[in-house]
């Protein structure tokens, strides 16, 4: 029975509509179906859109709203229920969803697997309250820094790093390798490394492996150089012995002699440069060597060439190919060996840091689950959640990674066996997230994953988004582009070329019959010159002006770009030339764009380094200009007359020492108050986001100003905040535009390169001795890889790059509804998108009869292409009452920040109050001291397992602002803790002998009250012989204290067979009472 439907959904073909209909169909048939249905997609925004679409259409169907009629019509076609039953069930399903919203399982694929992970926390030896970390880069950089700091003279890592530095210096590269190590270290989060880490670990443990392996490769490389050099020298020895010079040969130095000269100079890898047409002809014909005068049989030169030189060239060329292969392979393999052997140390340090701060990397989720699945058909890891599911819907499947699919396939096969409704939706042509491990080939070959009888493929072919002319242009252009790409790839690998051709076999979309010949496409190709960027920027502004004059509103225009950097370039240009035009971009709203945040950072820099005159001058300037209202000219005048300190708030100068004594969170709040940052308008969102990041930092790190400033320089400065304003022109990257649509799309700088030589390709060598290492990371390089044993790896990566970049064009071009305006350049290199556009444009113009193209044949003139000249009439916006409550526009509520000094203190929650009431009632200071001290001690004991944990526990409390004041000093606290923990009766409790459970909750059901009750002993210690439970008290003994411990003993005895001991420890009096 077919119970998996695969929808191939091209751009604008109603994918979200189809998903919503299928989900609502399940609810109409069974209003409780949401409890056993899982729908996953890849972004939070898509999840939000999907949920809102389902809720709003359920409401619309239930209330017979006109906007929901298309959904009702589609559902009626595929169900036997009456209209009244459909509406009734839709209303019931909506009510059930709202009241059981946590069961509404429409979520991102990451969120789903996080749920699975938390369910398996015990099996995976993870704590239930672990925090998930998304920022791989920050964690990896922290690990490398700590690794470097901990190096010592006997460290193997230090020896490797020193070798790495020496190799770099020998190659005239920088001796400072830390940045390179950090960059390469990010490979520990890549799936390919994770798949092979066990194989690599075996190699890492083998003593002297890298030393011997590296020496062998260098020997191969050197032998190749020497072999080819000898071949070249032999040629010149022969001609010299016969009294012949280079000038006696045809073409002299640039002829065959140049071939052998290059061999001597070590240039023998690139066939195009070495074995040119002249050399190729010389292997087959004597005449190619000689001038007309000497090209006569019987001539001494003729005989020399025929009998010695031509055979030498032929054998040398055969030898060159072999030696070039060995040399290039050895050279490529050696590239990253120094960094490769550091990966295990970096990974181990990352894991150690994560364990210490109770953190788990989101990027490790899939690999960890995959390791547990381990080829089982129905592994237990999905039992807790899989038994609840019958229907699974996967959206944006083209962005799924191989390891994600392996994990999901297990669950999908389970639900398919139960004959549930399962569907996969995607479009290979919109796969643009390979850098996030997305693999378009999974969708392209989905039928191979299942029994064909269980799978139905459907295509959504009609484009409902764009106007007729836009669709017609895209149909024609991408047909031509695919044909061109297929022809290129066919020369490299026929099988992979067929894969790409198949991916674009459904590129031609159907056009709804009711659509008129509306819509406009314009392509401008500027001649290659230094003015290209300026020409493009000016053209963008001109096109925007033209659209605005035609009545198009700013909010209906989008400018799509390939890279984030380009957003800043365009934004700056508009700000300079057309400040009246409003641009909207989340990338423009970085924390570094906030004057208030910059003042805080500048103030922290001054506190961190008081001698930094530049930081102090920047702070003075910001304060005087943005707080005091001075002009830049006035500030410059003040700077000449006054010392910098006088230009800053005097409270800041006077309180520097006090500020340095504060925890960093309080320090920042005090800076905010001293500099009166609330007076700078429009900064609240930035400040809120900054505080959030500061709090995240203090949770995982020692709250040190210098380290926080380093984090700011590395990553925090570019953290962006979401913009709620949708009224301006959208300035967005192509990647972030995916799934969106805009009336008019401008695509400037459409000229990015297909290949990047800084990307890493992981290869599996097959030939010895290279195969002694199971996997090798090499830098992507066409010339070397094609002439090495890694040629197949190059071809595969080239194909992937080609598809990625064609898909980027497809996504960008298909965002447009009414107008598409492309700006690129002509005469560019073969592997750029501009070259593809240039070569396809002429063919497109011929096929689209009504299109116009000029300047195509003149390299010095711009090429202009235009198709369509009529846009739909501009719509007059009339605010209408929204009849669907789920589609009511959200109102932005402004939030302002107010500074409020608050003293951080503990709340008293235990029995020490009773102790204090005996004789201390009138001694306020002592009472305050005992209350705070008891609370602090309780917090410390909850954080420590052994005596060695005390310093870290104290540091944590100190960083949160709890310690210390005039009553409780660090010295007093340390003295008391030392005195108590070295007591012979107590010391054994704080050793490594035990498995420790601090303040862990025990749940029990009380049949009398019919409620679940919680009990939380302060400290439970377990080993194989016995269990010890201790409760800390800070007051005087009471009978109910013993009963409390008895309850703990009773509960523990029901869970564990070992003998159990119970104690009350009155810490102030140091009295220990056994409890039976």
Is a pLDDT exceeding 80 seen at residue 42? yes
Which pLDDT belongs to residue 521? 96
Q: Is 448 annotated as a binding residue?
A: no
Residue 65 in any domain: the answer is yes
Dist. CA 592–CA 793, nearest whole Å: 41
* Residues 78-91, mean pLDDT to the nearest whole number: 93
CATH number for the domain harbouring residue 381: 3.40.50.300
964 confidence band (pLDDT: 50, 70, 90): low
Segment 356-384 shows an average pLDDT of 72
**Which pLDDT belongs to residue 723?**
65
Pick the range with the lowest mean pLDDT from 554-563, 583-592, 711-720, 1022-1031.
583-592
According to the model, what pLDDT value does residue 966 have?
A: 47
pLDDT at position 910: 42
Whole-number pLDDT of residue 173: 75
Residues 186, 192, 196, 198, CA torsion sign? positive
Of 310, 338, 357, which marks where a domain is finished? Answer: 357
Q: Return the pLDDT at 921.
A: 40
Q: Is the pLDDT of residue 255 over 90?
A: no
**In this model, does residue 354 exceed pLDDT 90?**
no
**pLDDT above 90 covers what percent of the chain?**
45
Arithmetic mean of pLDDT, 812-828: 93
Is pLDDT of 159 > 50?
yes
When mean pLDDT is compared over 410-419, 498-507, 937-946, the highest value belongs to 498-507
Q: How confident is the model at residue 48 (pLDDT cuts 50, 70, 90)?
A: very high
Confirm or deny that 16 is annotated as ligand binding.
yes
Q: Residue range 396-425: average pLDDT?
A: 88
Query: Is residue 712 within 8 Å of 925, Cβ to Cβ?
Result: no
Partnered with residue 822 across adjacent β-strands are 523, 747
Report the first-to-last Cα separation within the chain, whole angstroms: 65
Report whether 472 belongs to an annotated binding site: no
Residue 222: predicted pLDDT? 96
Relative to beta strand 1019-1022, strand 742-747 is: unpaired
Using the predicted structure, report yes or no on whether residue 409 has a pLDDT greater than 60: yes
Q: Are residues 332 and 398 in the same domain?
A: no
Q: Clarify whether residues 437 and 510 are in a common domain.
A: no
Question: 107-116, 172-181, 905-914: which has the minimum mean pLDDT?
Answer: 905-914
Per-residue pLDDT band at 641 (split at 50, 70, 90): low
| 382 and 353 share one domain | no
Residue 32: per-residue pLDDT: 94
Please check whether residue 1000 lies inside any domain of the structure: yes
Mean pLDDT across the stretch 907-932? 47
* 700 assigned to some structural domain: yes
Q: Could you give the CA distance from residue 598 to residue 577 in angstroms, rounded to a whole number? A: 26
pLDDT of residue 927: 56
The answer to whether the annotation marks 11 as part of a ligand binding site is yes
Q: Are 1041 and 915 in contact (CB under 8 A)?
A: no
Comparing 1041 with 128, the larger pLDDT belongs to 1041
Quick check: is 741 in a domain?
yes
Residue 230 and residue 178 share a domain: yes
Q: With beta carbons less than 8 A apart as the criterion, state whether 163 and 153 touch.
A: no
In a domain, 411, yes or no: yes
854 is in an annotated binding site: no
Cis peptide bond N-terminal to 964, omega within 30: yes
Instruction: Specify the higher pLDDT residue, 358 or 380.
Output: 358
Say if residue 919 carries a ligand binding annotation.
Answer: no
Pairing, β 742-747 against β 816-825: parallel
Give a yes or no: residue 142 inside a domain: no
Of 846, 870, 894, which one is at a domain's C-terminal end? 870
- Least reliable range by pLDDT among 91-105, 186-200, 697-711, 809-823: 697-711
Within-domain flag for 901: no
pLDDT at 374 over 80: no
Length of the chain: 1076
* Contact yes or no for 624/633 (Cβ under 8 A): no
d(CA 286, CA 419): 75
- Dihedral angle sign, alpha carbons of residues 466, 467, 471, 474: negative
Burial class (CB in 10 A: 0-12, 13-18, 19+), 628: middle
1057 and 1004, same structural domain?
Answer: yes
Residue 887 lies in a domain: no
The mean pLDDT of the chain is 86
Domain boundary among 850, 870, 890: 870
Distance CA 840, CA 822 (A): 14
pLDDT at 420 over 60: yes
Cα angle: 104, vertex 105, 109; to 5 degrees: 155
Looking at residue 381, its pLDDT comes to 62
Residues 436 and 538 in one domain: no
Q: Where are the beta strands (DSSP E) in 871-944?
A: none
d(CA 651, CA 671): 10
Q: Are 586 and 723 in contact (CB under 8 A)?
A: yes
Query: 365-373 and 402-417 helices cross at what angle (nearest 10)?
Result: 50
- pLDDT value for 215: 94
Q: Print the domain residue range for 690.
A: 591-718
Q: Interior CA angle at 278 toward 273 and 279, to 5°?
A: 70
pLDDT at 871 over 90: no
> The CATH number of the domain where 828 resides is what?
3.40.50
pLDDT in tens, 687-741: 988 999 998 888 767 778 988 998 898 888 888 777 666 688 999 999 999 989 9
Per-residue confidence (pLDDT) for residue 1039, from 0 to 100: 85
In tens, the pLDDT along 442-492 reads 999 988 888 888 889 999 999 999 999 999 999 999 999 999 999 989 988
3-state secondary structure of 61: helix
Measure the CA angle with vertex 510, ends 10 and 550; round to 5°.
Answer: 90
Distance CA 928, CA 933 (A): 8
Task: Tell me the range of 58-62, 584-588, 644-648, 946-950 where mean pLDDT is highest.
Answer: 58-62
Q: Do 579 and 602 share a domain, yes or no?
A: no
Look at 401-405, 746-750, 923-927, 1002-1006 and tell me which has the smallest mean pLDDT.
923-927
Same-domain status, 35 and 123: yes
The candidate with the shortest Cα–Cα distance to 1028, out of 1059, 993, 1057, 984, is 1059
Q: What is the pLDDT averaged over residues 895-917? A: 51
**pLDDT (0 to 100) of residue 1059:** 92
Most confident of 272-281, 912-921, 967-976: 272-281
pLDDT digits (tens, 9 = 90+) for 532-573: 999 999 999 999 999 999 999 999 999 999 998 899 899 889
Res. 310: pLDDT tops 70 = yes
What pLDDT shows up at residue 492? 87
Give the pLDDT of residue 883.
85
450 and 390 both lie in a single domain: yes
pLDDT of residue 918 exceeding 60, the answer is: no
Confidence of residue 224 (pLDDT cuts 50, 70, 90): very high
Rounded mean pLDDT of 296-324? 91
Examine the pLDDT at 328 and tell me if it is beyond 70.
yes
> Is residue 908 scored above 60 in pLDDT?
no
Q: Which candidate, 151, 45, 26, 156, places its Cα nearest to that of 93?
A: 26
d(CA 39, CA 395): 8
Total structural domains within the chain: 5
Rounded-to-integer distance, Cα 521 and Cα 851, Å: 9
> Residue 106: what pLDDT?
95
User: Which tens digits make up the pLDDT trace of 604-619?
Assistant: 999 999 888 888 999 9
Task: State yes or no: 254 annotated in a binding site.
Answer: no
- Residue pair 1068/1034 in contact (Cβ under 8 Å)? The answer is yes
Sheet strand arrangement including 1060-1066: 995-998, 1019-1022, 1027-1033, 1060-1066, 1071-1075
**pLDDT of 377 strictly over 70:** no
* SS3 per-residue string spanning 461-480: CECCCCCHHHHHHHHHHHHH
Q: Are residues 440 and 293 in the same domain?
A: no
Say if residue 875's pLDDT is above 70. Answer: no
Residue 13 labeled ligand binder? yes
Q: Please check the confidence at residue 895 and state whether its pLDDT lies above 80.
A: no
Residue 3 has pLDDT above 60, yes or no: yes
pLDDT band at 267 (very low <50, low <70, confident <90, very high): very high
Q: Which residues contact 907 (CB under 8 A, 6 or more apart)?
A: 935
**373, 117 Cβ separation under 8 angstroms:** no
CB atoms within 10 A of CB 320: 25
Is the pLDDT reported for residue 904 higher than 60?
no
According to DSSP H, which parts of 593-649 are helical?
Answer: 595-608, 613-622, 632-641
- Residue with more model confidence, 501 or 156: 501
Identify whether residues 439 and 497 lie together within a single domain. Answer: no
The whole-number pLDDT of residue 295 equals 75
- At 944, which CATH number? 3.90.320.10
Q: How far apart are CA 829 and CA 884, in angstroms?
A: 53
- The pLDDT score that the predictor gives to residue 881 is 72
Q: How confident is the model at residue 2 (pLDDT cuts 50, 70, 90)?
A: low
- Lowest-pLDDT range, 69-83, 166-180, 990-1004? 166-180
**Nearest Cα residue to 518 out of 745, 740, 819, 744:** 819
My answer on whether 595 and 579 are in the same domain is: no
């Amino acid at each position: 029975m077919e119970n998996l439907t695969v929808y191939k959904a091209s751009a604008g073909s109603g994918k979200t509509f189809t998903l919503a209909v299928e989900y609502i169909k399940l609810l109409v048939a069974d209003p409780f179906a949401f409890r056993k249905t899982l729908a996953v997609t890849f972004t939070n925004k898509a999840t939000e859109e999907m949920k809102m679409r389902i809720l709003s259409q359920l409401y619309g169907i239930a209330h017979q709203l006109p906007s929901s009629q298309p959904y009702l019509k589609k559902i009626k076609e595929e169900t036997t229920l009456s209209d009244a039953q459909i509406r009734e069930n839709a209303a019931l399903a909506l009510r059930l969803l709202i009241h059981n919203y946590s069961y509404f399982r429409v979520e991102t694929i990451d969120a789903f697997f996080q749920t699975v992970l938390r369910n398996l926390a015990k099996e995976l030896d993870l704590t239930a309250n672990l925090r998930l970390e998304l920022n791989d880069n920050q964690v990896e950089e922290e690990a490398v820094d700590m690794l470097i700091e901990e190096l010592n003279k006997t460290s193997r890592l230090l020896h490797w790093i020193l070798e790495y530095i020496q190799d770099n210096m020998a190659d005239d590269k920088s001796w400072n390798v830390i940045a390179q190590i950090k960059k390469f270290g990010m490979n520990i989060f890549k799936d390919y490394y994770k798949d092979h880490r066990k194989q690599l670990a075996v190699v890492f443990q083998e003593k002297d492996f890298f030393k011997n392996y590296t020496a062998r490769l260098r020997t191969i490389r050197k032998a190749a150089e020497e072999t080819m050099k000898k071949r070249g020298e032999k040629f010149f020895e022969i001609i010299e012995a016969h009294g012949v010079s280079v000038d006696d040969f045809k073409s002299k130095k640039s002829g065959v002699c140049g071939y052998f000269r290059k061999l001597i100079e070590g240039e023998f890898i690139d066939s195009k440069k070495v074995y040119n047409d002249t050399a190729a002809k010389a292997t087959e014909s004597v005449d190619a060597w000689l001038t007309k005068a000497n090209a006569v049989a019987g001539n001494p030169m003729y005989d020399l060439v025929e009998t010695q030189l031509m055979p030498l060239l032929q054998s040398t060329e055969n030898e060159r190919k072999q030696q070039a292969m060995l040399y290039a392979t050895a050279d490529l393999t050696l590239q990253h060996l120094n960094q490769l052997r550091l990966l295990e140390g970096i990974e181990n340090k990352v894991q150690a840091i994560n364990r210490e701060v109770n953190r788990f990397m989101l990027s490790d989720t899939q690999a960890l689950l995959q390791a547990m699945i381990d080829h089982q058909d129905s592994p237990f890891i999905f039992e807790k959640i899989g038994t609840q599911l019958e229907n699974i819907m996967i959206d944006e499947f083209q962005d799924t990674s191989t390891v994600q699919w392996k994990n999901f396939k297990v669950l999908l096969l389970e639900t398919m066996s139960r004959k549930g409704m399962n569907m996969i939706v995607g479009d290979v042509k919109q796969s643009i997230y390979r850098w996030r491990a997305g693999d378009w080939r999974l969708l392209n070959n989905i039928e191979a994953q299942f029994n064909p009888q269980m799978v139905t493929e459907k295509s959504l072919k009609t484009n409902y988004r764009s106007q007729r002319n836009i669709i017609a242009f895209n149909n024609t252009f991408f047909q031509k582009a695919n044909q061109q790409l297929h022809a290129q790839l066919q020369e490299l690998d026929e099988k992979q070329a067929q894969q790409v051709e198949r991916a674009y076999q459904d590129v031609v979309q159907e056009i709804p019959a009711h659509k008129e010949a509306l819509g406009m496409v314009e392509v401008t190709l500027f001649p290659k010159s230094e003015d290209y960027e300026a020409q493009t920027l000016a053209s963008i502004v001109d096109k925007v002006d033209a659209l605005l004059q035609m009545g198009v509103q700013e909010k209906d225009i989008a400018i799509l770009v390939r890279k984030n950097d380009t957003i800043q370039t365009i934004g700056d240009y508009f700000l300079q030339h057309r400040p009246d035009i409003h641009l909207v971009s989340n990338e423009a709203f970085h924390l570094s764009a906030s004057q208030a945040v910059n003042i805080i950072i500048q103030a922290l820099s001054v506190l961190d380094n008081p001698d930094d005159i530049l930081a102090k001058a920047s702070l003075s300037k910001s304060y005087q200009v943005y707080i005091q209202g001075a002009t830049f000219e006035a500030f410059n005048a003040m700077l000449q007359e006054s010392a910098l300190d006088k230009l800053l708030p005097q409270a800041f100068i006077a309180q520097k020492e006090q500020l340095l004594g504060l925890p960093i969170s309080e320090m920042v709040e005090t800076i905010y108050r001293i500099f009166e940052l609330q007076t700078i308008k429009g900064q609240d969102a930035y400040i809120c986001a900054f505080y959030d990041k500061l709090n995240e930092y203090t949770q995982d790190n020692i709250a040190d100003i210098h380290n926080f400033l380093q984090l700011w320089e590395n990553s925090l400065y570019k953290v962006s905040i979401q913009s709620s304003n949708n009224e301006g022109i959208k300035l967005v990257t192509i990647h972030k535009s995916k799934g969106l649509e805009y009336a008019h799309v401008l695509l400037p700088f459409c000229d990015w390169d297909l290949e990047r030589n800084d990307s890493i390709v992981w290869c599996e060598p097959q030939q010895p001795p290279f195969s002694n290492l199971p996997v090798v990371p090499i830098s992507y390089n066409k010339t070397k890889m094609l002439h090495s044993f890694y040629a197949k790896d190059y071809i595969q990566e080239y194909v992937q790059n080609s598809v990625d970049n064609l898909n980027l064009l497809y996504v960008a071009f298909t965002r447009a509804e009414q107008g598409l305006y492309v700006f690129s350049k002509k005469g560019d290199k073969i592997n750029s998108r501009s070259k593809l556009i240039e070569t396809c444009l002429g063919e497109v113009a011929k096929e689209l009869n009504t299109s116009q193209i000029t300047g195509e044949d003149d390299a010095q003139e711009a090429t202009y292409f235009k198709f369509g000249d009529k846009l739909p009439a501009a719509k007059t916006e009339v605010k209408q009452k929204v009849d669907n409550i789920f589609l009511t526009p959200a109102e932005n509520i402004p939030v302002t920040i107010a500074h409020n000094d608050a003293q951080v203190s503990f709340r008293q929650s235990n029995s020490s109050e009773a102790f204090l009431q005996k004789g201390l009632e009138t001694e306020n200071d002592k009472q305050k001291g005992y209350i705070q001290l008891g609370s602090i001690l309780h917090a410390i004991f909850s954080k420590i397992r052994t005596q060695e944990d005390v310093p870290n526990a104290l540091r944590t409390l100190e960083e949160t602002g709890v310690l210390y004041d005039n009553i409780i000093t660090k010295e007093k606290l340390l003295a008391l803790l030392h005195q108590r923990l070295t007591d012979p009766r107590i010391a054994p409790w704080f050793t490594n002998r035990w498995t420790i459970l601090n303040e862990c909750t025990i749940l029990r059901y009380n049949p009398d009250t019919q409620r679940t009750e919680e009990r939380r002993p302060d400290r439970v210690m377990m080993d194989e012989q016995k269990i010890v439970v201790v409760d800390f008290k800070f007051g005087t003994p009471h009978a109910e204290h013993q009963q409390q411990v008895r309850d703990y003993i009773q509960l523990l005895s029901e869970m564990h067979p070992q003998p159990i001991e119970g104690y009350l420890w009155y810490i102030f009096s140091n009295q220990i009472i056994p409890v039976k």
